[in-house]
Amino acid sequence: MLEKALSHSLAIYLALDGDAVVGLIRLVGDGFSSVFVQDLIVLPSYQRQGIGSTLMKEALGDYRDAYQVQLVTEETEKNLGFYRSLGFGTLSTYDCTGMSWGDRKR
């Protein structure tokens, strides 16, 4: 499943420490009208070192002309503060609402 998900990504950016992957950002979408940040993961021992910000800035820089860049995250102060520091706003800021299809609880 992971291999299939990765192979269908729009783009994947890695942060390495030597040969070890310590962070990654994975984007899906068409790259023009919509880019969705599917995953932004940094190993706990590497967090708060600018790795997530660097990955996000690199990815957003490559897709700066996309009409929409979206993501979904847990609503914690840590997450909201992090994404706001990168220029993201909640959908309510844009008079929009997020919607999800189906019962995704597993």
Whether 68 has a pLDDT exceeding 80, the answer reads yes
- What's the structural domain count of the chain? 1
> Which CATH number is 47's domain given?
3.40.630.30
Is 12 part of any domain? yes
In this prediction, residue 104 carries a pLDDT of: 54
- Helix locations, 1-106, DSSP H: 2-7, 51-62, 77-85
Owning domain of residue 58? 2-70
Whether 96 has a pLDDT exceeding 70, the answer reads yes
Is 63 part of any domain? yes
**By the 8 A CB rule, do 16 and 6 touch?**
no
User: What number of CA atoms fall less than 13 Å from residue 77's CA on the CB side?
Assistant: 0
Closest CA to 25 of 63, 64, 55, 70: 55
The amino acid sitting at 36 is F
In this prediction, residue 103 carries a pLDDT of: 63
